Structure 1
């Protein structure tokens, strides 16, 4: 039975609040400075100094600016680390705009295919509502980046530089989503009219031409052939002629992306450890690499990340960056803010509870480039962000080990670091399909 709030209750709450000196003191601080500034724990910042026993030299950080391309920046940053080592190009960058263009284009096609596949479902069905809520966005997953690279390759940033719409993508997303929703009206009507597969394909091709036009106008035309001139750190001149995006990737990056696997830590009851998962309607390239996650416990998760760092290779990873982290000093630690002390409210939840009840999910991808080991155990991690060099320590953040436990959800490592039983799980290819709105389908 519903119960309304009574005036007597409110009077009691107010009296109890006012008679407590701690409440009044906290009120004075928060009213003037805000919750987080009043709760910052300087002791946590002192403990998380940016010094690490394993520390990869990865150069200057990149800047995704006002766009949601962190997953893309993080992946391309791991590639440029390889280029820096192999070709002595310290602060070289790959074109995030090039990959951004093809991601948008492929996501449009992926959306059309899902609209056609659900064309006979009611608009009120959860799947259709899910599709139409956000037809496409900037975010993505590691395997989605792999699908793009395997189809389109990569190019240097100087070959397809940033544009206004790649660095500040809100307008582009607004108008691209307007077009996709308008096209969904047409496609659903064709399905209702029992159009043939050929008719649907012709209409979709016409729609994709419009998408290409919108993207080319906003982001520029992607190159198909180019020459690449550069000077290395020794000032030696080089030129590579007649490259394609695919041949550039093969020569300058050369990583076999099929040898990498997405590892997650999702301690919820519906996802037993040591099993593979995918997410329905999550992807970009139709016919490309499917998103796959191997769920493991946190000790295994950390061991895999450490193994790859020890081998001298950075680690792509995804987390909930907004939880208990400072932007200016670049500290991610569970005790960096003592909000419970300031407000006198208990916010504690388990990692599984936060996932199940919508309190947390992966929101941002970055790169692990170092770790501090004490007696073989990790205590803090070095993180390369993509927010420019004005935050953290020249753009690098420090993540406490406890923060990794609670708010890190995904890493990408080479399969060679997996135990034999886990290699077998990956090889057997038995995959559980999760619902489109599962938190493990979140886009960084």
Structure 2
């Protein structure tokens, strides 16, 4: 067991808050009319309404030189499946073109089922891998804290699609629990944590791998049963027919999910490279990274972990823009969604809210400092579907984003991101390797640097 002391260093005699300090702080507050004005405003109105910079808002319009989308947004509802929605939204673009459809969705519930099942298996394997460590070891504690989150990253989406294929939403529609995951997740986490305790105890008592595998199979059968009860049973085959937007009828017949994916997924997921922007001094650019104990699918031809290449923010912008302007493809992306965002207006800007002016305080950390001090990380995945390019510099001025929060916010669910926000809060994109310099493609295939599970670049988009 780890021994914790009450203090790592002697406490200063002046460490407490004294009456003199309180009196000084109150006097300074009362003597500044700006402080009282802000108090009057913020105690009666929402902070963001007070801090919203009107000049920024009026300087934004929602027009773009290049727009790819002509479809309605989707809704992940009360779930953390944004990364999956963003991935399936990317794939449905080609599917709609191939089937001549105005509207189409792949089943998010289908891929969700398989990710949950694979994630449970991955968790049990990590527990067995670390079973010789103390229960309060930092890695073991992290695994037990995060046994089965909803969120994910690009590579985890690719793993599921490659193994299990795809089905249309009609073949496995949403369930109450796929759209509202907390209760199902709570019970699954109980099963996984109790299972982890059982596996650790068995191994501590000398159980061989065959006995551990047998117990894991029992646990996984329970997980499958719970998922089937909550989400429904995934189809192994289905009859596919549709009317296209010209009212023409099509009937393919009975297909498997793998056959459906092969026919209607028009991009080769193996051709896409995940890029991140991590400006910390400890994360050199041009290097591949992975995160220990983070993944989903294990075995066979599937790599359970995540892998990305750290690049300069300007390279990330360039390939994102070119994906839309040259290849005509939207871009899967991950960002720190809640920072400097107005949900109702559907806008992001690095200076959207003047919090410093409200508080008369300075916020000085740059992106690297915010990562180091746990002030930022990737929290949400969406899709770029448009860009406004400055004809003089050929650089982006703003970006159009398809969210998965339904059409009640933003401009019918679409958001506008000023380029200043991209610099500060964008973290991850997945782009075709043909857009990348040769050294970045080579780096993507090199041996990655392994980050610890709790590193902010291992955060899961929800």
Same topology, TM > 0.5: yes
Q: Distance in 2 between matches of 1:321 and 1:58?
A: 23
Aligned match of 1:301: 316
Over the aligned positions, Cα root-mean-square deviation in angstroms equals 0.9
Question: Is 1:90 equivalent to 2:107 in the alignment?
Answer: no
Among candidates 371, 389, 393, match of residue 373 of structure 1? 389
Question: Is 1:357 equivalent to 2:369 in the alignment?
Answer: no
CA offset digits 1:40-99 (Å, max 9, x no partner): 112212222111111112410000000000000000000011112222112100100000
CA offset digits 1:287-310 (Å, max 9, x no partner): 322311110011111011011111
Aligned match of 1:348: 364
Residue pairs, 1:278-357, within 5 angstroms = 278-287=290-299, 288-289=302-303, 290-310=305-325, 311-357=327-373
Question: Is 1:276 equivalent to 2:288 in the alignment?
Answer: yes
Shift, 1:275, TM fit: 0.7
Among candidates 23, 46, 53, match of residue 65 of structure 2? 53
Shift, 1:421, TM fit: 2.1
Aligned match of 2:8: none
Aligned match of 2:129: 117
Give the conservation status (yes or no) of the 8 Å contact 1:385–1:396: yes
Aligned match of 1:224: 236
Aligned match of 1:208: 220
Among candidates 443, 447, 450, match of residue 425 of structure 1? 443
| Structure 1 unmatched runs, 5+ | none
Give the conservation status (yes or no) of the 8 Å contact 1:71–1:365: yes
| Structure 2 unmatched runs, 5+ | 1-10
Give the conservation status (yes or no) of the 8 Å contact 1:58–1:81: no
Aligned match of 2:274: 262
Aligned match of 2:5: none
Among candidates 396, 413, 421, match of residue 403 of structure 1? 421
Aligned match of 1:443: 460
Q: Distance in 2 between matches of 1:124 and 1:185?
A: 13
Give the conservation status (yes or no) of the 8 Å contact 1:58–1:369: no
Shift, 1:276, TM fit: 0.4
Aligned match of 2:164: 152
Aligned match of 1:189: 201
Greater CA deviation, 251-260 or 312-321? 251-260
Give the conservation status (yes or no) of the 8 Å contact 2:378–2:427: yes
**TM-score, normalisation: structure 1:** 0.98
Alignment: residue pair count: 443
CA offset digits 1:358-395 (Å, max 9, x no partner): 00000000000111111211111000000000110000
Q: Distance in 2 between matches of 1:348 and 1:234?
A: 56
Give the conservation status (yes or no) of the 8 Å contact 1:48–1:380: no
Q: Distance in 2 between matches of 1:349 and 1:86?
A: 47
Give the conservation status (yes or no) of the 8 Å contact 1:279–1:291: yes
CA offset digits 1:398-423 (Å, max 9, x no partner): 11101000000000000110112222
Give the conservation status (yes or no) of the 8 Å contact 1:84–1:92: yes
Question: Is 1:142 equivalent to 2:142 in the alignment?
Answer: no
Displaced runs of 4 or more, over 6 A: none
Among candidates 401, 405, 412, match of residue 383 of structure 1? 401
Give the conservation status (yes or no) of the 8 Å contact 2:92–2:105: yes
CA offset digits 1:308-351 (Å, max 9, x no partner): 11110000000000101011111111121111111111123110
Give the conservation status (yes or no) of the 8 Å contact 2:95–2:266: no
Q: Distance in 2 between matches of 1:397 and 1:294?
A: 27
Shift, 1:196, TM fit: 0.8
Aligned match of 1:37: 49
Q: Distance in 2 between matches of 1:58 and 1:52?
A: 13
